[in-house]
């Protein structure tokens, strides 16, 4: 049995990952770590202990706490780390960058130090989950490859780029067995409702206008969360040491087109719901430093890892919209006072 530490396990991608990996990898035991910030929710991991027993454990540790991280490494004798934990929301990083430096940079270095000091041999792997946002923005043409220069625009992407550089330095300096994946925008179940897709679904269900930044022509590249997580498992198992792999599903959408598609889907799924009205779009002042376009070239992962996303956008969006409609209690419960205060700050003056 391999003992794997998964950080950020109660967040959106991390919780989907833990569920999927426990199902697919019967020789893995997963220690799921999370600090349970506003974005982490134990409900996302519900039932796993009952289903998987000794193969699953949860620990509440903040990766900014070096001693907490080191003690865990001492106790657990990990065979590998898959590192999702991060402050992940660009708008929040614009309101307060420091926390992003503390968790995304310092927290990552604490984990790297834990791995460097306590991994038992050089086969133990450290997989760092990063993002297309480290590459900055594209114009109308082209796509990011692993050779594209990093050129982050927001405090979020700058903190992720900094953490990527630390990971690479641990490979170069200490020969730590590191791999980095950089993925495009994920969507699917359990995503915190501040992110575009669940945010729009929530507002539409509540009869509120759908705020779209600028003129809505910004382009994002989308992947269903399970496809990202399958790529994560492949990179963990087959990636070459010290390498970066871009993950994406070649699925670019303009924000405005995505919002219009969501409206179409909601109209179909909610046609019988009493009081449901077609939502209106409200264009709001653009985000400062808003990158125009992201597009990932995943050729290297396809070629070297056999990575191949399976879920089409149409299918993934259907699944996702239905999930948020069927799990209204889940997102209503996590919309706390803190979240409402943040939304007020973010959109009040736009
Ligand atoms: N969501 C995307 O579209 C996307 C795309 C590419 C890469 N990524 C990367 O994937 C990872 C996961 O993203 P997500 O969307 O699931 O984010 P998320 O915000 O939903 O989850 C992050 C998790 O990390 C935990 N966390 C935050 N600070 C912590 C700390 N100091 N110690 C321990 N745990 C802490 C939170 O409690 C939460 O459970 C991040 O590293 C992000 O940069 C996300």
Residue pLDDT, tens place only, 274-297 = 889 999 999 999 888 888 999 999
Local structure of residue 296 (DSSP, 8 states): B
With respect to residue 333, please indicate whether it lies within any of the assigned structural domains: no
With respect to residue 302, please indicate whether it lies within any of the assigned structural domains: yes
What phi, psi does 247 have (nearest 5°)? -120, 130
With respect to residue 245, please indicate whether it lies within any of the assigned structural domains: yes
Q: Is the CB of 14 under 6 A from ligand 1?
A: yes
Are 104 and 87 in contact, with CB atoms under 8 Å apart?
yes
Q: Is the CB of 39 under 6 A from ligand 1?
A: yes
Q: Is the CB of 37 under 6 A from ligand 1?
A: yes
Q: How many domains does the chain have?
A: 1
Q: Is the CB of 229 under 6 A from ligand 1?
A: no
Sheet holding 219-224, edge to edge: 185-187, 219-224, 252-254
Q: Give me ligand 1 centre to Cα 272, in Å.
A: 36
Give the mean model confidence (pLDDT) for residues 323-343. Answer: 83
Which of 39, 222, 295 best tests ligand 1's pocket when mutated (most atoms within 8 Å of CB)?
Answer: 39
What phi, psi does 312 have (nearest 5°)? -70, 160
Q: Give me ligand 1 centre to Cα 42, in Å.
A: 14
pLDDT over 60 (residue 213): yes
Are 103 and 160 in contact, with CB atoms under 8 Å apart?
no
With respect to residue 344, please indicate whether it lies within any of the assigned structural domains: no
Q: What is the pLDDT of residue 340?
A: 67
Cβ neighbors of 292 (< 8 A, separation 6 or more) are: 137, 138, 139, 217, 218, 219
The separation between CA 61 and the C-alpha centre of its own chain, rounded to angstroms, equals 19
Q: Which two tokens stand for residue 28?
A: 């893995």
Residue 39, helix vs strand vs coil: coil
Q: Residue 339 — pLDDT band, cuts 50, 70, 90? A: low
Q: Residue 348 — pLDDT band, cuts 50, 70, 90? A: low
| Whole-number Å distance between alpha carbons of 95 and 103 | 16
Q: Is the CB of 10 under 6 A from ligand 1?
A: yes
What's the whole-number average pLDDT of the chain?
95
Cβ neighbors of 272 (< 8 A, separation 6 or more) are: none
Which CATH number do you get for residue 137?
3.40.50.720
CA-nearest residue for atom 6, ligand 1, is 131
Q: What is the pLDDT of residue 288?
A: 86
Q: Give me ligand 1 centre to Cα 310, in Å.
A: 23
pLDDT (tens digit per residue) in 173-189:
999 999 999 999 999 99
Q: What is the pLDDT of residue 218?
A: 94
Q: What is the dihedral of CA 133, 135, 139, 145, to 10 degrees?
A: -110
Q: For residue 139, with 0-12 CB atoms within 10 Å meaning exposed, 13-18 middle and 19 or more buried, which class applies? A: exposed
User: What does R_g of the chain's alpha carbons equal in angstroms?
Assistant: 20
Indicate which residues carry an active-site annotation: 132-133, 156
pLDDT over 80 (residue 271): yes
Q: Give me ligand 1 centre to Cα 277, in Å.
A: 33
With respect to residue 65, please indicate whether it lies within any of the assigned structural domains: yes
Model confidence, pTM:
0.95
Q: Give me ligand 1 centre to Cα 49, in Å.
A: 22
CA-nearest residue for atom 44, ligand 1, is 131
Q: Is the CB of 222 under 6 A from ligand 1?
A: no
Share of residues in the chain with pLDDT > 70 (%): 97
Local structure of residue 107 (DSSP, 8 states): I
With respect to residue 242, please indicate whether it lies within any of the assigned structural domains: yes
Q: Which two tokens stand for residue 64?
A: 């900014």
Q: What is the pLDDT of residue 289?
A: 83
Which of 9, 13, 90 best tests ligand 1's pocket when mutated (most atoms within 8 Å of CB)?
Answer: 13
Q: Residue 347 — pLDDT band, cuts 50, 70, 90? A: low
With respect to residue 17, please indicate whether it lies within any of the assigned structural domains: yes
Local structure of residue 190 (DSSP, 8 states): T
Q: Is the CB of 157 under 6 A from ligand 1?
A: no
Are 221 and 255 in contact, with CB atoms under 8 Å apart?
no
Q: Residue 6 — pLDDT band, cuts 50, 70, 90? A: very high
pLDDT (tens digit per residue) in 137-159:
999 999 999 999 999 999 999 99
pLDDT (tens digit per residue) in 222-267:
999 999 999 999 999 999 999 999 999 999 999 999 999 999 999 9
The separation between CA 317 and the C-alpha centre of its own chain, rounded to angstroms, equals 17
Share of residues in the chain with pLDDT > 90 (%): 91
Q: What is the pLDDT of residue 345?
A: 73
Distance linking the first and last C-alpha atoms of the chain: 53
| Whole-number Å distance between alpha carbons of 166 and 160 | 10
With respect to residue 201, please indicate whether it lies within any of the assigned structural domains: no
Within 10 Å of residue 36's Cβ, how many Cβ atoms?
14
Identify the residue with better confidence: 34 or 348: 34
pLDDT over 70 (residue 43): yes
Are 258 and 221 in contact, with CB atoms under 8 Å apart?
no
Sheet holding 56-60, edge to edge: 56-60, 28-34, 2-7, 80-83, 125-131, 177-183, 244-247
pLDDT over 80 (residue 220): yes
Q: Which two tokens stand for residue 143?
A: 């796509």
CA-nearest residue for atom 7, ligand 1, is 131
Residue 83's domain comprises: 2-185+222-250+289-311
Q: Give me ligand 1 centre to Cα 168, in Å.
A: 20
| Whole-number Å distance between alpha carbons of 76 and 33 | 12
Which of 88, 167, 196 best tests ligand 1's pocket when mutated (most atoms within 8 Å of CB)?
Answer: 88
| Whole-number Å distance between alpha carbons of 250 and 295 | 7
């Amino acid at each position: 049995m391999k003992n794997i530490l998964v950080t950020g396990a109660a967040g959106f991608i991390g919780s989907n990952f833990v569920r999927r990996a426990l199902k697919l990898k019967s020789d893995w035991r997963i220690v799921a770590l999370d600090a349970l910030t506003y974005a982490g929710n134990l409900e996302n991991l519900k039932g796993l202990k009952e289903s998987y027993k000794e193969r699953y454990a949860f620990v509440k540790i903040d990766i900014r706490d070096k001693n907490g991280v080191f003690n865990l490494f001492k106790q657990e004798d990990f065979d590998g780390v898959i590192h999702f934990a991060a402050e992940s929301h660009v708008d929040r990083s614009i309101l307060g960058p420091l926390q992003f430096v503390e968790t995304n940079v310092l927290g990552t270095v604490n984990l790297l130090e834990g791995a460097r000091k306590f991994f038992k041999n050089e086969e133990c792997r450290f997989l760092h989950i990063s993002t297309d946002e480290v590459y900055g923005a594209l114009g109308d043409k082209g796509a990011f490859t692993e050779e594209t220069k990093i050129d982050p625009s927001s405090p979020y992407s700058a903190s992720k780029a900094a953490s990527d550089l630390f990971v690479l330095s641990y490979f170069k300096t200490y020969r730590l067995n590191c791999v980095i994946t950089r993925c495009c925008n994920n969507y699917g179940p359990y995503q915190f409702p501040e992110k575009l897709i669940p945010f729009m679904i929530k507002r539409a269900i509540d009869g509120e206008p759908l705020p779209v930044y600028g003129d809505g022509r910004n382009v994002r590249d989308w992947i269903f969360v399970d496809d990202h997580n399958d790529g994560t498992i492949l990179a963990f198992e087959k990636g070459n040491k010290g390498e970066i792999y871009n993950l994406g599903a070649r699925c670019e959408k303009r924000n405005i087109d995505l919002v219009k598609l969501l409206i179409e889907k909601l109209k179909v799924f909610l046609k019988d719901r009493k009081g449901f009205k077609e939502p209106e779009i409200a264009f709001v002042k653009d985000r400062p430093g808003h990158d125009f376009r992201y597009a990932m070239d995943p050729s290297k992962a396809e070629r070297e890892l056999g990575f191949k996303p399976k879920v089409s956008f149409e299918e993934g969006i259907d699944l996702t919209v239905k999930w948020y409609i069927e799990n209204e209690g889940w997102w209503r419960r996590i919309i706390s006072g803190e979240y409402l205060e943040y939304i007020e700050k973010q959109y009040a003056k736009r």
